[in-house]
Amino acid sequence: MKAYQFSLSIIIVNYQSWDLLENCLSSFKRYPPSATFEIIVVDNGAKDIRFDAFKKAHKEILLLKNKGNYGFSHGCNLGASYARGESLLFLNPDTELTEDKAIDTMLRYLDKNADVGIVSCRNLSENGNGKEERFLSPWLLFGFIRFFYRQFNKKKLIKDYPRDSAVWFPGWVTGSVVLINNELFQKIGHWNQERYWMYSEDPDLCFKVTRLGKKVALLRNLTIKHLGGGTSKPSIESTTRYKTEDFISKHNYIQENSTGVARVLMHTMFFFKLHLLLLAMAFSLLLLQKNKLVIKLKTFTRCWKYYLHALRHRTWKNPRLMDQAR
């Protein structure tokens, strides 16, 4: 068995979020975990001018410069390759620890429950609107199927997600807070950096864990503050990019986690779902919603470029990742 130097390696992938990252690191000074730990930060902004100054100011962390922005999964895997901790905690840079001492409790829970592979906790910003009830089946990527699933499985969902329970076992947890044993992480083959640049990599990771018979646990009486969207600037370009990447990632999630006729049918359904944007564009035009119209038009165009790329190369893989050296 490998000898580890720390109980925990905390891995944070940063992209132009230095101020948020500063707040995150400061929260570790206010509420330091009792367990021995190291912090590894991977900067995906290869030419970011603040890198050197930040590294000089924070000698207590290991700050790594990625060669390029190859996506969240790639950054996580790079950080994990340097980790010396028995467990790995993947955090977003826009998270902050609270007085709950969530990290120590999550570690104890992971150690005491051999049937659990991944542990997370509540995001403080979440408002309890059901977002924590997450499902792994690619079929439930479709909103109308999710609606009917909830309608016909109300009793099961109440049983699976009791409101007064301190622990839920959802299909997956958000990648902003993911705790996993290092050996299990190596066994499942890391985050899937070959398919996901952004989005859908977190359910994919959880799917790998559940295939090994492990559970995903969400500790609902613990919180880590999460601002959400901290690395993005609200603009037409950023919104278009994220909508496009979400669409591409869902195709890859379908490809990775389904087979046969079901896989073909779901790909086809998503193809036709894209074309509902044409109707949405018509409404935006009638209502003189210029920005919404531009976002929908650009998203539609970029998704079609993705389809042409997929046909030409005979793969659903994200074009952003195919030509980038690892």
Shared domain for 243 and 297, answered yes or no, is: yes
R_g of the chain computed on alpha carbons: 20
Virtual torsion, Cα 244, 200, 81, 17, nearest 10 deg: 50
Number of structural domains (the chain) is 2
Query: In the listed set 196, 226, 256, which residue is the last one of a domain according to the structure?
Result: 226
With respect to residue 181, please indicate whether it lies within any of the assigned structural domains: yes
Domain span holding position 191: 6-226
Shared domain for 86 and 194, answered yes or no, is: yes
Query: In the listed set 173, 199, 226, which residue is the last one of a domain according to the structure?
Result: 226
With respect to residue 1, please indicate whether it lies within any of the assigned structural domains: no
CATH number of residue 135's parent domain? 3.90.550.10
With respect to residue 92, please indicate whether it lies within any of the assigned structural domains: yes
**Six-digit token string for 322:** 């195919």
Shared domain for 260 and 304, answered yes or no, is: yes
Shared domain for 94 and 196, answered yes or no, is: yes
With respect to residue 222, please indicate whether it lies within any of the assigned structural domains: yes
- pTM, 2 dp: 0.92
Query: In the listed set 226, 244, 259, which residue is the last one of a domain according to the structure?
Result: 226
Shared domain for 21 and 146, answered yes or no, is: yes
Strand intervals (E) in the chain = 6-14, 37-43, 62-65, 85-91, 95-96, 116-123, 167-168, 177-181, 215-226
pLDDT (tens, 9 = 90+) of the chain, 326 residues, equals 678 899 999 999 999 899 999 999 999 999 999 999 999 999 998 777 899 999 999 999 999 999 989 999 999 999 999 999 999 999 999 999 999 899 999 999 999 999 999 999 988 664 444 468 899 999 999 999 999 999 999 999 999 999 999 999 999 999 999 999 999 999 999 999 999 999 999 999 999 999 999 999 999 999 999 887 554 556 899 899 999 999 999 999 999 999 999 999 999 999 999 999 999 999 898 888 999 999 999 999 999 999 999 999 999 999 988 766 44
Shared domain for 39 and 137, answered yes or no, is: yes
Shared domain for 191 and 70, answered yes or no, is: yes
Amino acid at 68: G
